[in-house]
Amino acid sequence: MCGTASPASINKSSLPSANSNGTRSPTCSSDHVLNLEQGDPAVFESYWRKMGDRCTMVISGSQLMSYISDFTNICWFMEPEFEEAVRRLHCVVGNAVVDDRYIVVGTGSTQLYQAALYAYALTSPGGPEPVSVVSAAPYYSSYPEETDYLCSRLYKWAGDAYEFDKNGTGPYIEVVNSPNNPDGTLREAVVKNRGDEGKLIHDLAYYWPQYTPIIRLADHDIMTFTFSKSTGHAGSRIGWAVVKDKEIARKMSKFIEMSTLGVSKDSQQRAAMIMGVLCDGYQNCKSANKSDDLFFEHSRQIMAERWERLRQVVERNQVFCLPKYPKQYCLFSGELIEPYPGFAWLEAKEGEEIDSQKVLRGSIKVQGRTGRRFGVAEKYVRISLLSNEEVFKEFLERLSTIKSMSSNGH
Amino acid sequence: MCGTASPASINKSSLPSANSNGTRSPTCSSDHVLNLEQGDPAVFESYWRKMGDRCTMVISGSQLMSYISDFTNICWFMEPEFEEAVRRLHCVVGNAVVDDRYIVVGTGSTQLYQAALYAYALTSPGGPEPVSVVSAAPYYSSYPEETDYLCSRLYKWAGDAYEFDKNGTGPYIEVVNSPNNPDGTLREAVVKNRGDEGKLIHDLAYYWPQYTPIIRLADHDIMTFTFSKSTGHAGSRIGWAVVKDKEIARKMSKFIEMSTLGVSKDSQQRAAMIMGVLCDGYQNCKSANKSDDLFFEHSRQIMAERWERLRQVVERNQVFCLPKYPKQYCLFSGELIEPYPGFAWLEAKEGEEIDSQKVLRGSIKVQGRTGRRFGVAEKYVRISLLSNEEVFKEFLERLSTIKSMSSNGH
């Protein structure tokens, strides 16, 4: 090759970070809107920066070029190293059964949710009618549109699972999101079991020790998880499902094949490495008692502090209330601990009619997501608590200036 | 952090390559089936290995963590470095207009094909009926199932565009795959223009100089491309669309948001770097005349040699025939050159009834894909020419032992 060789690698300074570019994360000057609508997990960035080179991924130009990872696996596009890392991570945390279960990798848990709908709908006894998809309100705001955007004849969004339990008929799929986005509650299925007619998807995106006590080893037919919320690496678009039934795992893999012909190997390998470093911390350091160096302890500490600061502001100005969560015994830490959800689910105290999203946007330029999007009243608003510290601090400062809703709102 | 630090990077020896593992690519021992059904682009691996560290991607543990790349872009999950690299690559090659066009990144061109169907269907005047999706036979074998697997009410696969031109009615989307997979021909739209009722997707996955003369600067409403076929990096699942209309680009981005909430940033950055190194070669070395070091010249040379060897074997044993392609003037190289498609489209000479896929599988243990999957007769079979050299050589050796179809076939 002639000419001067260009630099071999993209070094840190040439790749964007959440702090270096205004278009990439909320900015903090007081006349800017603080965007806390998405759950962008910037809060975890500082931990991984501290880990330095141990988490640095190196891929040469000739690696990972094939479509295929392992033709002997039902999920033929899954890197063996990724599967191994996922199994190890669940064993370290103890949050889900993985022995004798199939792992299916997806382009984030968004894709796996759709793969699960597809797999269940194909095995449903429903005949020509689309299977009803339900979830207890307040439900994750993206379920309705992820279910309906292609106007599938296989399945359709049917709203709140409580309503369906009372009045719904026919085959259904219930999505159980636990801890629940937006309100952080630990959940069980709502629709009373109707035998073969009902299928369950457990969306366990937030069932990790920084957000919640690990109250049991989860063991359900389909459980989905995501790299975005477990370690905070949302940009890699990596999720996985733990699946009991072989035919369901096969159909989910087939869905991903038809949807995207596999999942980025670069990101699968990066996820495997980062999960590996996380697990090494636990398996090498049990006796060292330097828990601040361990990912989940470090992250739970930050979330606990944020919740304490948030509750102080909310209690002081008496405009909103926040859910109260019971302490529960955490199998992972061996302690009684509180949940520290990734979102604040704020409810306006003054009257049913207040549009809390509008109030926050209008009075303190904070962008949250209205309760309407989650299937409940607009007196609720969801605010991300996963921003970086600078943005979180600015949010609390702005929130502390709110005095009364009725004068700002309608 | 306590304990011994684990190695900072995954080095080459610990990542799989196409040659090191039997489950990852076809093996060559004579009792094994040679799988040439997929177009896995292993042929380009040796070039990128030669490039050494110049194409090595380095990502630290704290980079690329956000969902968001640039909220000011319609395609808010697209890395600016990726968009810039795509525009530069098209400028260097001269195969597609990119000025005043929108770029949309996808998880491979598979996802962009579906995004294009969605965007067109939403703007179709069709009313309650699904829009018909057609492509001239032989058409890419995945179009039917990628169109129909979710049983959408927005669009449906309607088969061969020639048939639709004669007998079809109503709104339609025609996919023009040029050069065409499986048969390598350069194509134009088939359905006679019916004004607003017809929309076109140009799938230009193979419109790169190693496969075909670049006969014009393509300029169509939606053009899709893929990292898998341009440089051979299929494992990264990166594709892009070049789109004329802003609202179509917006709807395509919305589709990708709902389908996978973005596209792996790790892979977008890797693609940007590899495209950058490729372009540097052209822009630094115009006068150096070391064309073997330039990606497209190097790769076309390999493809030309493979086609010459393949034609010799096919002509010698008189069992199949291959398409003949006219030489055309290539704007990129400034020469009259032949197409060298990534697939051999073999047609059995003896009779209409022969199942060529079955014959190849039964007599020489070569797995191709039957013409039936492409909407034509089973006397046709598609064989990938993009394997590594060892596999290609073994394929030619096996093919040269075939004497007559009728004795092997029915």
- Position A21 scores a pLDDT of 34
pLDDT at A403: 79
Between CA A180 and CA A225 the distance in angstroms is 13
What is d(CA A202, CA A222) in angstroms, rounded to the nearest whole number? 6
- CB atoms A237 and B4 under 8 Å: no
**B2 neighbourhood in chain A, CB within 8 Å:** 284-285, 288, 290, 293
Q: In the prediction, which pLDDT does A9 show?
A: 37
Q: What is the pLDDT of residue A27?
A: 54
Are residues A68 and B237 in contact, defined by beta-carbon separation less than 8 angstroms?
Answer: no
Place of tokens 């893929």: B226
Give the model confidence (pLDDT) of B302-320 as tens digits. 999 999 999 999 999 999 9
User: How much is the pLDDT for B286?
Assistant: 58
List, as ranges, residues 337-376 from A with C-beta within 8 Å of B.
none
pLDDT tens column, B21-47: 333 445 566 679 999 999 999 999 999
Q: Please name the residue that has the structure tokens 């759950």.
A: A39
Mapping DSSP onto H, E and C, the string for B43-67 reads HHHHHHHHCHHHHCEEECCCCCCCC
DSSP A218: B
- Please indicate whether, in this complex, the C-beta atoms of A151 and B152 are within 8 angstroms of each other: yes
Q: Where are the beta strands (DSSP E) in B256-342?
A: 320-321, 328-330, 335-337
What is the average per-residue pLDDT within B122-135?
Answer: 88
pLDDT for res B11: 38
C-alpha A302/C-alpha A286 separation (Å) is 21
Low-confidence ranges of chain A (pLDDT < 50): 1-14, 16-25, 407-410
A1–B290 C-beta distance less than 8 A: yes
For residues B159 and B163, give the distance between their C-alpha atoms in angstroms, rounded to a whole number: 8
A48 touches B: beta carbon within 8 Å: yes
Q: What pTM was estimated for this model as a whole?
A: 0.93
Residues B74-102: tens digit of each pLDDT: 999 999 999 999 999 999 999 999 999 99
Per-residue tokens: A410: 């309608």
The two tokens of residue A272 are: 């495997």
The chain-wide mean pLDDT, for chain B, equals 91
The tokens of B181 are what? 């997979």
Give percent of chain B with pLDDT exceeding 70: 89
ipTM summary value: 0.93
- The reply to whether A62 touches chain B by the CB within 8 Å rule is yes
The shortest CB-CB distance from B2 to any of A262, A267, A285 is to A285
Reported as a single tens digit per residue, the pLDDT across B261-292 is 999 999 999 999 999 999 999 988 655 556 77
pLDDT confidence of residue A16: 43
Contact predicate A108/B260, CB 8 Å: yes
- Tell me the C-alpha distance between B365 and B368, whole Å: 10
| pLDDT attached to residue B8 | 34
Give me the mean pLDDT over the B128-143 stretch.
Answer: 96
- Name the minimum distance, in Å, from the CA of A116 to any CA of chain B: 12
* pLDDT, position B83: 98
Q: How far is B278 from chain A (nearest CA, A)?
A: 11
Instruction: Answer with the residue of higher pLDDT: B25 or B177.
Output: B177
Place B4 in a pLDDT band, splitting at 50, 70 and 90.
very low
Sequence-distant (6+) residues with CB within 8 A of A220 are A176, A200, A202, A244
pLDDT at B12: 36
- How far is Cα A76 from Cα B215, in angstroms, rounded to an integer? 38
Interface probe, candidates A150, A227, A279, chain B, greatest B C-beta count within 10 A: A150
> What's the rounded mean pLDDT across residues B183-198?
92
Expressed in angstroms, the distance from the first to the final Cα of chain B is: 68
A107 touches chain B (CB under 8 A): yes
pLDDT (0 to 100) of residue B352:
79
Of B15, B58, B69, the CB nearest to A10: B58
pLDDT at B292: 72
